[in-house]
């Protein structure tokens, strides 16, 4: 049988599927109880649902259109921060209805700068989402503050506001929500808590370009919102970062910080041209980075629309399969960035089939899928032990507070651990920009596995 015959047979017609659900591919889905044995799983030697079709590559670059723009800035030899960077910042701020945008060399440094110029310091606590990686919290540790982890909602993967409330102490000074996988965290609830307790909020929106809550884009709710323009992200520059804020004085400090501590706006004083006014860094975006960013920006809104149409389609269709549950957008969330299309794997609904086996089977059908972050929570990583041994932490905190085993126990997040063991990440920059028929391939691959579970065991 040729692969196009299979895909025709399995194809879930958009129109029919809209009214009758998933059982329109000529198959009676008897989940977890293989009856449809005609299509051999690719893992077991059958023909992959995807055949040899490729997903869109990522990052994308229209050489004919964009090379002249790149050549212009290379040719005029203004390569360090200048007009192009300012133009990119203006556009990014405008797209968000934000007063200011400051670009940086990457997202990690955007986050670190945001914390460095915040009012948190040694002895303070910052409540963090645990479903992320080290880059989210470096800045908190540079400041000598203590990360405190509040568990996630296992249905949305986002930090749970109810868990944040439980972690508030008189020492709490900040909150770090991470819009993980590009789905919005519950910012209205989080900002309510922040207002009640006068907390500084830095949003890690590094995966969440243009995600929205009630039409307001993430990165604009907290005191600062940080973005990454790393090559895999939805606005890929290769390396690049941005910070949004409405606070002009804070912005001036961020600007000065990213530029050797030189004067900027309200950061002023007795200066020569090389007089540093604040303890700083140099993390400026280059002109050619900004040109790449400006080129990518031309397509971003349109791509965002496609990703959300595809996301909504997958959410609706995949909901019918008991073995997986698409990650939910919390009430109020009006758009995700779908940087990673995420699901929860329900092993018990697929007759105990291990997640790894499901991943192998889905990958073999041509759908790039993985587990996401491994079971290695930030609060247990060697970095934390190292930080606790540092002079500043030794001076500021008690031996009890720096007891690493106690710290791990105190910060243990059961829903996080459960999610490490059950998450499925469909992850490939260009995949969510595909056609309806590309999305149908994903649905058909999931369908095929559901109907052949017994053979995988
Ligand atoms: C990518 C990312 C970062 C870091 O951004 P870089 O540009 O790679 O430095 C931080 N937090 C999250 C959640 C990310 O996905």
Q: 18 falls in which pLDDT band (50, 70, 90)?
A: very low
Does the pTM exceed 0.75?
A: yes
User: If pLDDT is split at 50, 70 and 90, which confidence band does 428 have?
Assistant: confident
Put the strands of the sheet holding 125-128 in their side by side order: 100-104, 241-245, 224-228, 200-204, 172-176, 125-128, 146-149
Tell me if 204 CB under 6 Å of ligand 1.
yes
What strand order describes the sheet that includes 369-370? Answer: 324-326, 341-345, 423-426, 369-370
70-126 per-position pLDDT tens digit: 999 999 999 999 999 999 999 999 999 999 999 999 999 999 999 999 999 999 999
Choose one of 135, 139, 158, 178 to mutate for the ligand 1 pocket test, by most ligand atoms within 8 angstroms of C-beta.
Answer: 135
Reported as a single tens digit per residue, the pLDDT across 132-147 is: 999 999 999 999 999 9
Q: What is the pLDDT of residue 271?
A: 56
Compute the distance from residue 132 Cα to the ligand 1 centre, in Å.
9
Quick one: average pLDDT of 376-405?
98
**In the chain, where the domains are located:** 63-295
Average pLDDT over residues 234-252: 98
Checking if the pLDDT of 246 tops 70, the result is yes
Q: What is the pLDDT at residue 19?
A: 30
Of 163-177, 185-199, 268-282, 363-377, the least confident: 268-282
C-alpha–C-alpha distance, residues 284 and 422, integer Å:
39
- C-beta 135 within 6 A of ligand 1: yes
* Predicted pLDDT at 269: 62
The fraction of the chain above a pLDDT of 70, given in percent, is 91
Q: What's the mean pLDDT when you consider all of the chain? A: 92
Q: For residue 331, what pLDDT band results from cuts at 50, 70 and 90?
A: confident
Mutate to test the pocket of ligand 1, among 103, 104, 106, 108 (most ligand atoms within 8 A of CB): 108
Centre of ligand 1 from the C-alpha of residue 135, in Å: 6
Using most ligand atoms within 8 A of CB, pick from 206, 289, 425 the residue to mutate for ligand 1: 206
pLDDT > 90 fraction of the chain, expressed in percent and rounded: 87
Which residue in the block uniquely carries the two structure tokens 């992850």? Answer: 427
Given this model, what pLDDT does residue 30 score?
42
CB count within 10 Å of CB 36 equals 17
Position 371 pLDDT exceeds 60: yes
Q: What residues pair up with 345 in beta bridges, in sequence order?
A: 324
* pLDDT band at 287; cut points 50, 70, 90: very high
pLDDT number for residue 107: 98
Contact present, 393 and 402 (Cβ < 8 Å) = yes
The confidence score (pLDDT) of residue 267 equals 79
For residue 341, report the distance from its CA to the centre of ligand 1, in Å. 17
Q: Which two three-digit tokens encode residue 376?
A: 């290695």
Residue 354 is predicted with a pLDDT of: 98
User: Could you tell me the pLDDT band of residue 274, with boundaries at 50, 70 and 90?
Assistant: confident
Q: Any alpha helices (H) in 76-160, and if so which ranges? A: 83-96, 107-116, 138-142
Cα atoms in the Cβ-side hemisphere of radius 13 Å centred on 318: 28
Nearest CA to ligand 1 atom 7: 107
Cα-based torsion angle of the residue sequence 299, 304, 305, 308 in order, rounded to the nearest 10 degrees: 160
Report the separation in Å between the CA atom of 43 and the middle of ligand 1, taken as the mean of its atom positions: 33
Q: Is the pLDDT of residue 309 over 70?
A: yes
Length of the chain: 457
Residue 264's pLDDT band (cuts 50, 70, 90) = confident
How far apart are alpha carbons 329 and 320 in whole angstroms? 17
CATH architecture of 63-295: 3-Layer(aba) Sandwich (3.40)
Nearest CA, atom 2, ligand 1: 206
């Amino acid at each position: 049988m040729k692969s196009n015959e299979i895909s025709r047979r399995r194809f879930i017609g958009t129109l029919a599927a809209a009214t009758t659900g998933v059982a329109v591919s000529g198959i009676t889905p008897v989940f977890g109880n293989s009856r449809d044995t005609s299509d051999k799983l690719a893992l077991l030697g059958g023909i992959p649902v995807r055949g040899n079709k490729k997903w869109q590559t990522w990052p994308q670059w229209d050489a004919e259109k964009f090379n002249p723009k790149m050549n212009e800035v290379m040719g005029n030899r203004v390569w360090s921060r200048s007009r192009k960077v300012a133009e990119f910042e203006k556009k990014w701020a405008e797209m968000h209805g934000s007063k200011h945008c400051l670009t940086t060399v990457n997202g990690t440094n955007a986050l670190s700068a945001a914390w460095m110029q915040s009012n948190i310091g040694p002895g303070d606590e910052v409540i963090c989402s645990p479903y992320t990686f080290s880059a989210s919290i470096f800045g908190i540790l540079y400041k000598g503050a203590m990360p405190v982890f509040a568990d996630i909602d296992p249905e949305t993967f986002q930090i749970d506001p109810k868990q944040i409330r439980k972690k508030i102490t008189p020492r709490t000074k900040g909150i770090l929500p991470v819009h993980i996988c590009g789905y919005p965290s519950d910012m209205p609830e989080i900002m309510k808590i922040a207002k009640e307790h006068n907390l500084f909020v830095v949003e890690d929106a590094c995966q969440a370009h243009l995600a929205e809550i009630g039409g307001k884009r993430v990165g604009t709710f907290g005191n600062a919102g940080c973005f990454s323009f790393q090559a895999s992200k939805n606005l890929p520059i290769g390396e690049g970062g941005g910070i949004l804020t409405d606070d002009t004085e804070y912005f001036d400090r961020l600007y000065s910080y990213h530029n050797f501590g030189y004067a900027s706006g309200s950061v002023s004083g007795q200066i020569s041209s090389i007089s540093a006014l604040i303890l700083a860094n140099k993390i400026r975006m280059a002109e050619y980075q900004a040109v790449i960013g400006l080129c990518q920006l031309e397509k971003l809104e349109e791509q965002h629309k496609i990703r959300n149409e595809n996301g909504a389609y997958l959410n609706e269709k995949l909901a019918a399969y008991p073995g997986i549950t698409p990650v939910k957008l919390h009430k109020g969330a009006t758009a995700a960035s779908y940087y990673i299309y995420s699901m929860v794997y329900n092993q018990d609904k697929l007759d105990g089939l291990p997640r790894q086996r499901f991943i192998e089977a889905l990958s073999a059908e041509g759908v790039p899928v993985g587990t996401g972050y491994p079971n290695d929570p930030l609060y247990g990583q060697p970095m934390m032990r190292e930080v606790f041994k540092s002079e500043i932490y030794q001076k500021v905190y008690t031996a009890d507070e720096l007891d690493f085993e106690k710290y791990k126990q105190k910060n243990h997040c059961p829903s996080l651990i459960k999610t490490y063991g059950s998450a499925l990440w469909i992850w490939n920059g260009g995949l969510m920009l595909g056609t309806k028929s590309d999305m149908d391939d994903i649905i058909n691959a999931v369908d095929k596995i559901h109907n052949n579970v017994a053979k995988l065991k």
